[in-house]
Structure 1
Amino acid sequence: MEHESQSISPAATMRGHECADAALAGVTVLDLSGALGNYCAKLFADLGADVILVEPVGGTPSRAMAPHLAGRADKDSSLYFQYNNTNKRSIALDLDTEAGAQVFRQLVASANLVVESGAPGVMATRGLGYAALREINPGIVVTSITPFGQAGPYADWKGEDIVGMALGGMMSLGGYFDSEPIVPFGYQGIAAANLFAAVASMAAIYDTEVSGVGQHVDVSMQECVVMGMENAVQFFDLEGTVRKRSGGQQREAGSGVFRCKDGYIYLMAAGVGANRFWGHTVEWLAEEGIEGVEALRDARWDDRDYLSTEEAKATFARVFTDFALRHTKAELYERGQARRIPIAPVCTTGDILVSPQLRERAFFVSVTPDAFPGARLASSGPFPGAPYKHSKTPWALTRLAPALGQHTGEILSSLGIEPAAQQALIQSGVAQ
């Protein structure tokens, strides 16, 4: 992370505290990052920052990412793009031209944050690297998100989500004990990079507001995956053991996925807190009159080594599954929760849409033509809402993901570029 001791211009200070209705009102973010940073910038946009999606002429590659609305494959049908770019404005610029780069420099002059994901050195080659941008705006924060960071032996390597998950170590734990590694669903390596980048960017903006100093935040997707691996690395450091894939198995008797009446649930009766969870679970089974429960009261179940044996796993699975098959996921979840036992349903997409908890929290918001007149809707219906609740500065969906270059004219006008000059940029292919 580069840190320069220069004074910050008033235009680049964070002014979110001036507006009670949006936490980040007054913050300006330039997002030219594609999939590696679109969600990072979305988190700012959904809290009221003015996020300008700076796309290449022809559109950002994330517009082509699956899944798509059924039967469509156009630039407005990617559900991935639609979700990750809410509340943003779009301008299309060719940054490899001097005219396009000059427009971008004008935007940087009054921005707080630039999020980019070009290969190391690409922005500098354009004359738009951090060193050049801080000359324009000493308080600018530039967050660079790449597969392997700006320096090091892998810095110039390319890497999709699956590469980050593999070289970050997560895929070594994904899959069944006797299968090849399996990458988890949903671009989780990319998601990790976005989340780490958002937190680091926000911290840098706060620091800039206090110190008047801009920063270059260097985010490696691989390192983010490593940091997100919970305690897998510490297992080797502390116990000398290497965690193995355990999909479809109990890691210890009482902890794992079990079939029930309408699907599966995950139970953690052993492991952390087993001194409480195990007893609560055994008492629950006894209250239900489940055959074989008395075998789970033996003193040997207090021995962690015994819990790891195949005999123990088979015994527990036989007793608990007999019980679980009599109940639905919802019943097991609610009754287990009442007994302070860690138990959770393995949800399908349909389960999520009708989740009582999410309904109570009003998580899904309605996306309809009436609610967003003039928008190019990828779909109508429930749309994921806020992942948090703020009382004084609430999350708000005020704008759906923009069409390519939808706001080019208004953004150029805000920079003082006259209509004739705008047309010249568009006709020359610099803007769209």
Structure 2
Amino acid sequence: MASGVPGHRVPRALDGVRVLDMSGPSGQYCGKMFADLGAEVILVEPVGGSSVRRDGPFIDNQPHPERSIPFAYFNSGKRSISIDLDLAEGQEIFRKLVSETDVLIESEKPGVMARRGLDYVSLTAISPRLVMASITPFGQDGPYSQYESEDIVALALGGMLYLGGYPETSPIAAHGNQAYLAAAQFAAVAAMMGVWAAEAEGLETQGRHIDVSIQECVVMGMENAIQFYDLEGTVRRREAGQQRWAGAGVFDCADGQVYLMAGGIVPNQFRVANVRWLMEEGVSEAEQMLAKKWDNPDYQASDEAKQIFAELFAPFARARTKEYLYSEGQSRRIPICPINTPRDLMENRQLAYRNYFVSVAHSHTGKPLTVPGAPYVLGSTPWGISRPSPRLGEHTSEILSVLGYDIAAQAALLKSGVTN
């Protein structure tokens, strides 16, 4: 990333930080966040490659370990070495890597790393300041610690799945491994705090073992569901955009849907402004919603109020575009927003202005991929994707050379479970 001054490189926020990422689906985004801020991230893959390489969609709809689009996104900026950590040779290489590492991200089942002699206690004997983030479904201990799990299981046991979907259907999960992403973000924040503490405390500091439970991360994301039960004795249920109060819910419009929050516990001026908007647009019957009883959230929660509002607002919204409803509503300080589709996001003026989406070449095909950028801007130490995602074991020889293995030693390792 050039600065405009010949021979000068713009500093990155995490320059000098070294990370080993062997985490797979649940932690790969954690490693990506470090890489995108300038850390040197080495992806340690099993000999057969990360399981994410088998996740679609694929470039040109051709399933192949080097054509996975999810892998390309989540592992950009990293280098790859492929080793068998169940072999003594692979464990030796791993220990040498750890000796020069600040952060290790792993997601093995509790006990697996200990059986390999690569647990936190063993590794801090090599690198005392090591920050090790272990991301597992239920944490390192407890009655569930050895249970198998996937993203949807964590969503279910964390309570989030109960709120997803429609009242008349079974629960529906949001797309995109949201439990894994939550865990990866919590792990990244905690690991960065560990790195910061290690730098602040100096050479005598002890490292940190960060125990991340994906289930607990999901529970944290429940936000006010616990408070509703604690304060009101109310169990939150699947609403799927239905009006919880008159004026709060999802409504169809001419080219999609909008979400309106102008009723219930929100400030009453939102409701009044919304009613006056309808009146000005010719919905004369809307005046009835200025009656005193409409000030009461309990009445707004009644079936009568919700039916009256829907009969007036729904036809109004269906005759207008979401852009019009959003712009006009915002000008009146009414909480209303479009429910954007992926295409809407790609065409969104605000995201385009801030250059949110970026292009990165695919390492196998060379084709450019448009991917999400960072949700923040750092002026002096900018975010950026430094390299495409690696091919399986692409940097094995390079990394082994740095570790001191000569050509003959590398050849012997390649026969015993190290690939390039």
Q: TM-score, normalised by structure 2?
A: 0.94
C-alpha deviation, 1:326, in angstroms: 2.4
**Bigger mean CA deviation after superposition, 204-213 or 396-405:** 204-213
User: In structure 2, what is the Cα distance between the partners aligned to 1:280 and 1:139?
Assistant: 58
1:90 aligns with 2:88: no
1:277 aligns with 2:270: yes
1:428 aligns with 2:416: yes
| 1:182 paired residue number | 172
Q: Deviations 1:303-349 (Å, cap 9, x if unpaired)?
A: 11111111111111121122212221112112222222221111111
The correspondence for 1:357, drawn from 350, 353, 365, is 350
Structure 1 segments of 4+ aligned residues over 6 angstroms from their partners: none
State the number of aligned residues: 409
1:26 aligns with 2:16: yes
Q: Deviations 1:239-286 (Å, cap 9, x if unpaired)?
A: 111011101411211111100010101111124433232122122222
| 1:13 paired residue number | none
| 1:238 paired residue number | 231
| 1:54 paired residue number | 44
5 Å-filtered alignment, 1:117-136, equals 117-136=107-126
Secondary structure of 1:409's counterpart equals helix
Aligned CA distance change for structure 1 residues 410 and 147 (closer, same or farther; 3 Å): same
CA contact (8 A) 2:264 2:301 kept: no
Secondary structure of 2:206's counterpart equals coil
| 2:144 paired residue number | 154
| 2:5 paired residue number | none
1:35 aligns with 2:25: yes
1:418 aligns with 2:406: yes
Q: Deviations 1:164-216 (Å, cap 9, x if unpaired)?
A: 00000001111111211111111111111111111111111111212222000
User: In structure 2, what is the Cα distance between the partners aligned to 1:41 and 1:268?
Assistant: 37
RMSD, aligned CA: 1.5
| 2:315 paired residue number | 322
Q: Deviations 1:394-413 (Å, cap 9, x if unpaired)?
A: 11122111110011111111
Q: TM-score, normalised by structure 1?
A: 0.92
Aligned CA distance change for structure 1 residues 175 and 101 (closer, same or farther; 3 Å): same
1:76 maps to a residue whose letter is E
| 1:288 paired residue number | 281
| 1:400 paired residue number | 388
2:359 maps to a residue whose letter is S
CA contact (8 A) 1:97 1:430 kept: no
5 Å-filtered alignment, 1:243-262, equals 243-262=236-255
1:357 maps to a residue whose letter is Q
2:195 maps to a residue whose letter is I
User: In structure 1, what is the Cα distance between the partners aligned to 2:105 and 2:265?
Assistant: 39
Secondary structure of 2:284's counterpart equals coil
Aligned CA distance change for structure 1 residues 326 and 228 (closer, same or farther; 3 Å): same
Secondary structure of 1:266's counterpart equals strand
Secondary structure of 1:405's counterpart equals coil
C-alpha deviation, 1:70, in angstroms: 4.0
CA contact (8 A) 2:246 2:264 kept: no
The correspondence for 1:309, drawn from 302, 312, 328, is 302
| 2:370 paired residue number | 382
| 1:268 paired residue number | 261
Secondary structure of 2:59's counterpart equals coil
Secondary structure of 1:101's counterpart equals helix
Secondary structure of 1:292's counterpart equals helix
User: In structure 2, what is the Cα distance between the partners aligned to 1:337 and 1:394?
Assistant: 32
2:406 maps to a residue whose letter is E
The correspondence for 2:325, drawn from 316, 332, 335, is 332
